Amino acid sequence: MTHLIRLNTQGRRLSALCWIGWLLVLALPLRAAEPKVEAFAARAAACPAPGPDCLVELGRSLLGTPYLKGALAGPRDPATGLTLSLAKVDCMVLLEWLLAGNSLAGRPAAGRADSLAQALARVRFRDGLVHWKQRHHFFSDWLDSGPRLTDAGAGFSGARQRSVELNRREGQRRWVKGVPVRSQEVWWVPPGTSTLDSLRDGDLVGLWAAKPGLDVTHVGIIVREGGRVLLLNASSRAMKVRLEPLAEHPAWKKGLLVFRR
Protein backbone atom coordinates (compact mmCIF):
# COMPACT_ATOMS: atom_id res chain seq x y z
CA MET A 1 0.00 0.00 0.00
CA THR A 2 1.64 3.15 1.15
CA HIS A 3 4.68 4.58 2.82
CA LEU A 4 2.77 4.90 6.08
CA ILE A 5 2.42 1.20 6.82
CA ARG A 6 4.46 -0.58 4.15
CA LEU A 7 2.26 -3.62 3.93
CA ASN A 8 4.74 -5.55 1.86
CA THR A 9 7.68 -4.80 4.15
CA GLN A 10 10.28 -7.32 5.08
CA GLY A 11 9.46 -7.88 8.72
CA ARG A 12 11.97 -6.51 11.17
CA ARG A 13 13.69 -4.40 8.52
CA LEU A 14 10.65 -2.08 8.39
CA SER A 15 11.58 0.33 11.17
CA ALA A 16 15.23 0.57 10.21
CA LEU A 17 14.37 1.40 6.61
CA CYS A 18 11.78 3.95 7.69
CA TRP A 19 14.21 5.73 9.97
CA ILE A 20 17.04 5.68 7.43
CA GLY A 21 14.73 7.06 4.75
CA TRP A 22 13.49 9.78 7.07
CA LEU A 23 17.01 10.84 8.02
CA LEU A 24 18.00 11.00 4.36
CA VAL A 25 15.02 13.22 3.62
CA LEU A 26 15.98 15.61 6.42
CA ALA A 27 19.51 15.77 5.00
CA LEU A 28 18.31 17.03 1.61
CA PRO A 29 19.21 20.63 0.74
CA LEU A 30 16.52 23.27 1.00
CA ARG A 31 15.32 24.35 -2.44
CA ALA A 32 12.61 26.44 -3.97
CA ALA A 33 9.23 24.79 -4.36
CA GLU A 34 8.48 22.93 -7.57
CA PRO A 35 6.38 24.77 -10.17
CA LYS A 36 3.79 21.99 -9.81
CA VAL A 37 3.52 22.74 -6.09
CA GLU A 38 3.15 26.46 -6.75
CA ALA A 39 0.40 25.76 -9.31
CA PHE A 40 -1.39 23.39 -6.93
CA ALA A 41 -1.32 25.98 -4.14
CA ALA A 42 -2.80 28.63 -6.43
CA ARG A 43 -5.50 26.22 -7.66
CA ALA A 44 -6.39 25.29 -4.08
CA ALA A 45 -6.75 28.90 -2.96
CA ALA A 46 -8.93 29.62 -6.01
CA CYS A 47 -11.52 27.02 -4.96
CA PRO A 48 -14.62 28.93 -3.75
CA ALA A 49 -14.79 27.04 -0.45
CA PRO A 50 -13.46 23.92 1.27
CA GLY A 51 -15.51 20.80 0.65
CA PRO A 52 -16.14 17.83 -1.62
CA ASP A 53 -16.13 19.85 -4.85
CA CYS A 54 -12.71 21.28 -4.03
CA LEU A 55 -11.30 17.86 -3.12
CA VAL A 56 -12.48 16.40 -6.43
CA GLU A 57 -11.20 19.37 -8.46
CA LEU A 58 -7.79 19.16 -6.82
CA GLY A 59 -7.72 15.40 -7.28
CA ARG A 60 -8.45 15.72 -10.98
CA SER A 61 -5.61 18.23 -11.32
CA LEU A 62 -3.18 15.52 -10.19
CA LEU A 63 -4.36 12.78 -12.56
CA GLY A 64 -1.39 11.19 -14.29
CA THR A 65 1.07 12.04 -11.49
CA PRO A 66 3.55 9.13 -11.27
CA TYR A 67 3.25 6.70 -8.37
CA LEU A 68 6.13 6.12 -5.97
CA LYS A 69 5.90 3.99 -2.86
CA GLY A 70 7.10 5.97 0.15
CA ALA A 71 6.99 9.28 -1.73
CA LEU A 72 8.81 11.55 0.71
CA ALA A 73 11.79 12.71 -1.37
CA GLY A 74 12.13 16.13 -2.96
CA PRO A 75 12.57 19.81 -2.08
CA ARG A 76 11.85 20.94 1.47
CA ASP A 77 10.11 24.06 2.68
CA PRO A 78 12.62 26.35 4.46
CA ALA A 79 10.19 27.29 7.24
CA THR A 80 8.84 23.86 8.16
CA GLY A 81 11.57 21.51 6.88
CA LEU A 82 8.74 19.59 5.24
CA THR A 83 9.21 17.61 2.04
CA LEU A 84 7.37 19.58 -0.61
CA SER A 85 7.21 17.64 -3.87
CA LEU A 86 4.41 16.61 -6.20
CA ALA A 87 6.71 14.88 -8.66
CA LYS A 88 5.52 11.47 -7.43
CA VAL A 89 2.99 10.35 -4.80
CA ASP A 90 1.69 7.24 -3.10
CA CYS A 91 -1.94 6.81 -2.09
CA MET A 92 -1.66 8.33 1.40
CA VAL A 93 0.57 11.19 0.28
CA LEU A 94 -2.00 12.02 -2.42
CA LEU A 95 -4.73 12.40 0.20
CA GLU A 96 -2.44 14.52 2.36
CA TRP A 97 -2.00 16.98 -0.49
CA LEU A 98 -5.73 17.06 -1.26
CA LEU A 99 -6.68 17.71 2.36
CA ALA A 100 -4.00 20.38 2.74
CA GLY A 101 -5.09 22.09 -0.47
CA ASN A 102 -8.73 21.90 0.56
CA SER A 103 -7.93 23.82 3.75
CA LEU A 104 -6.69 26.77 1.66
CA ALA A 105 -9.87 27.03 -0.42
CA GLY A 106 -11.51 30.45 -0.48
CA ARG A 107 -8.33 32.15 0.74
CA PRO A 108 -6.68 33.80 -2.30
CA ALA A 109 -3.88 35.25 -0.16
CA ALA A 110 -2.95 31.70 0.89
CA GLY A 111 -2.23 30.50 -2.65
CA ARG A 112 1.52 30.13 -2.11
CA ALA A 113 3.77 27.14 -1.56
CA ASP A 114 4.74 28.29 1.94
CA SER A 115 1.08 28.40 3.01
CA LEU A 116 0.56 24.97 1.48
CA ALA A 117 3.58 23.62 3.37
CA GLN A 118 2.11 24.77 6.68
CA ALA A 119 -1.25 23.20 5.80
CA LEU A 120 0.47 19.97 4.76
CA ALA A 121 2.34 19.83 8.07
CA ARG A 122 -0.95 20.04 9.96
CA VAL A 123 -2.41 17.22 7.86
CA ARG A 124 0.65 14.96 7.87
CA PHE A 125 1.77 15.30 11.49
CA ARG A 126 0.00 15.28 14.83
CA ASP A 127 0.01 18.83 16.22
CA GLY A 128 1.93 19.89 13.11
CA LEU A 129 5.22 18.65 14.62
CA VAL A 130 7.43 17.51 11.74
CA HIS A 131 8.82 14.24 13.06
CA TRP A 132 8.46 10.62 12.01
CA LYS A 133 6.90 9.57 15.31
CA GLN A 134 4.28 12.32 14.96
CA ARG A 135 3.25 11.20 11.48
CA HIS A 136 -0.34 10.22 10.87
CA HIS A 137 0.69 6.73 9.81
CA PHE A 138 -2.83 5.31 9.65
CA PHE A 139 -5.94 6.49 7.80
CA SER A 140 -7.96 6.49 11.04
CA ASP A 141 -5.46 8.85 12.70
CA TRP A 142 -7.30 11.64 10.89
CA LEU A 143 -10.46 11.04 12.91
CA ASP A 144 -9.06 12.80 15.99
CA SER A 145 -6.10 14.78 14.67
CA GLY A 146 -5.09 16.94 11.71
CA PRO A 147 -8.11 17.41 9.42
CA ARG A 148 -10.36 15.65 11.98
CA LEU A 149 -12.49 13.73 9.51
CA THR A 150 -15.89 12.27 10.32
CA ASP A 151 -16.49 8.52 10.14
CA ALA A 152 -19.58 8.40 7.92
CA GLY A 153 -19.84 4.62 7.94
CA ALA A 154 -22.54 4.50 10.62
CA GLY A 155 -25.02 5.88 8.10
CA PHE A 156 -24.49 3.08 5.58
CA SER A 157 -26.76 0.04 5.34
CA GLY A 158 -25.23 -3.05 6.92
CA ALA A 159 -22.30 -1.19 8.49
CA ARG A 160 -20.68 -2.75 11.54
CA GLN A 161 -18.48 -1.12 14.15
CA ARG A 162 -15.12 -2.63 14.93
CA SER A 163 -12.29 -1.77 17.28
CA VAL A 164 -8.83 -1.75 15.69
CA GLU A 165 -5.62 -1.81 17.70
CA LEU A 166 -3.69 0.40 15.31
CA ASN A 167 -0.03 -0.57 14.90
CA ARG A 168 -0.32 -3.85 16.88
CA ARG A 169 0.92 -6.84 14.92
CA GLU A 170 1.29 -10.31 16.36
CA GLY A 171 2.51 -10.34 19.96
CA GLN A 172 4.66 -7.31 20.72
CA ARG A 173 5.49 -6.57 17.11
CA ARG A 174 4.60 -3.21 15.56
CA TRP A 175 4.05 -2.01 12.02
CA VAL A 176 5.81 1.28 12.80
CA LYS A 177 8.50 1.15 15.47
CA GLY A 178 8.40 3.92 18.06
CA VAL A 179 4.72 4.67 17.52
CA PRO A 180 2.41 3.52 20.34
CA VAL A 181 -0.54 1.20 19.82
CA ARG A 182 -3.83 3.07 19.79
CA SER A 183 -7.35 1.67 19.95
CA GLN A 184 -9.71 3.14 17.35
CA GLU A 185 -13.39 2.47 16.73
CA VAL A 186 -14.30 2.46 13.04
CA TRP A 187 -17.37 1.58 10.98
CA TRP A 188 -16.87 -1.13 8.39
CA VAL A 189 -19.08 -0.64 5.33
CA PRO A 190 -19.77 -3.81 3.30
CA PRO A 191 -19.48 -3.84 -0.51
CA GLY A 192 -22.70 -3.80 -2.49
CA THR A 193 -25.09 -1.69 -4.52
CA SER A 194 -26.46 0.19 -1.52
CA THR A 195 -22.94 1.24 -0.56
CA LEU A 196 -22.18 2.48 -4.06
CA ASP A 197 -25.46 4.43 -4.09
CA SER A 198 -24.64 6.09 -0.76
CA LEU A 199 -21.11 7.22 -1.58
CA ARG A 200 -20.69 10.92 -2.38
CA ASP A 201 -18.27 13.01 -4.39
CA GLY A 202 -15.21 13.75 -2.29
CA ASP A 203 -15.71 10.91 0.21
CA LEU A 204 -12.36 9.66 1.46
CA VAL A 205 -12.34 5.88 1.49
CA GLY A 206 -10.01 3.26 2.82
CA LEU A 207 -10.14 -0.27 1.47
CA TRP A 208 -10.42 -2.77 4.26
CA ALA A 209 -7.44 -4.55 5.83
CA ALA A 210 -7.74 -7.97 7.42
CA LYS A 211 -4.30 -8.00 9.05
CA PRO A 212 -4.16 -7.12 12.76
CA GLY A 213 -3.09 -3.60 13.58
CA LEU A 214 -4.14 -2.10 10.25
CA ASP A 215 -7.29 -0.22 9.38
CA VAL A 216 -6.93 -0.10 5.58
CA THR A 217 -4.67 -1.32 2.77
CA HIS A 218 -5.30 1.49 0.27
CA VAL A 219 -6.95 4.92 0.18
CA GLY A 220 -8.49 7.29 -2.35
CA ILE A 221 -11.40 9.66 -2.92
CA ILE A 222 -14.75 9.04 -4.56
CA VAL A 223 -15.71 10.72 -7.83
CA ARG A 224 -19.20 10.23 -9.26
CA GLU A 225 -19.20 10.58 -13.02
CA GLY A 226 -21.94 9.73 -15.49
CA GLY A 227 -23.68 7.38 -13.09
CA ARG A 228 -20.45 5.59 -12.24
CA VAL A 229 -18.71 5.51 -8.86
CA LEU A 230 -14.99 5.97 -9.43
CA LEU A 231 -11.98 5.83 -7.14
CA LEU A 232 -9.39 8.56 -7.67
CA ASN A 233 -6.20 7.08 -6.27
CA ALA A 234 -2.46 6.75 -6.63
CA SER A 235 -2.39 3.24 -8.06
CA SER A 236 0.60 0.96 -7.63
CA ARG A 237 -0.85 -1.22 -10.41
CA ALA A 238 -1.08 1.61 -12.95
CA MET A 239 1.94 3.44 -11.43
CA LYS A 240 0.12 6.78 -11.57
CA VAL A 241 -2.81 8.74 -10.16
CA ARG A 242 -5.91 7.61 -12.01
CA LEU A 243 -9.67 7.16 -11.93
CA GLU A 244 -11.00 3.61 -11.92
CA PRO A 245 -14.38 2.01 -11.14
CA LEU A 246 -14.44 1.39 -7.39
CA ALA A 247 -16.29 -1.92 -7.77
CA GLU A 248 -13.47 -3.23 -10.00
CA HIS A 249 -10.73 -2.60 -7.46
CA PRO A 250 -9.44 -5.94 -6.08
CA ALA A 251 -9.93 -4.86 -2.45
CA TRP A 252 -13.51 -3.64 -2.97
CA LYS A 253 -15.01 -7.00 -2.01
CA LYS A 254 -13.55 -6.66 1.50
CA GLY A 255 -15.41 -3.45 2.32
CA LEU A 256 -14.61 0.16 3.10
CA LEU A 257 -14.06 2.82 5.68
CA VAL A 258 -15.77 6.05 4.58
CA PHE A 259 -14.60 9.37 6.03
CA ARG A 260 -15.92 12.82 5.23
CA ARG A 261 -14.46 16.29 5.65
List, for residues 100-148, the tens digit of each pLDDT value: 999 999 988 888 888 998 999 999 999 888 888 888 999 999 999 999 9
| CATH code for the domain of 111 | 1.10.3670
Per the structure, the count of domains in the chain is 2
Question: Does residue 17 lie within any of the structural domains?
Answer: yes
Nearest one of 100, 69, 58, 56 to 221, comparing CA atoms: 56
Nearest one of 234, 223, 207, 208 to 92, comparing CA atoms: 234
Question: Does residue 144 lie within any of the structural domains?
Answer: no
Question: Are the C-beta atoms of 165 and 213 separated by less than 8 Å?
Answer: yes
Question: Does residue 124 lie within any of the structural domains?
Answer: yes
Beta strands, E only, 77-192: 150-151, 160-166, 182-188
The predicted-structure confidence for 167-217, as pLDDT tens digits, reads as follows 999 878 999 988 999 999 999 999 999 999 999 999 999 998 888 999 999
The residue-averaged pLDDT of 151-169 equals 95
The predicted-structure confidence for 53-97, as pLDDT tens digits, reads as follows 999 999 999 999 999 887 665 556 666 667 788 999 999 999 999
pTM for this predicted structure = 0.85
- pLDDT recorded at residue 10: 38
Integer distance in angstroms from the first to the last C-alpha of the chain? 23
- CA dist list (Å): 255 to 5, 11, 19: 19, 26, 32
Instruction: Report how far residue 48's alpha carbon sits from residue 108's, in angstroms, rounded to the nearest whole number.
Output: 9
What is the domain range of residue 40?
A: 13-137
Question: Does residue 145 lie within any of the structural domains?
Answer: no
Question: Does residue 120 lie within any of the structural domains?
Answer: yes
Question: Does residue 4 lie within any of the structural domains?
Answer: no
Residue 130 and residue 157 in one domain? no
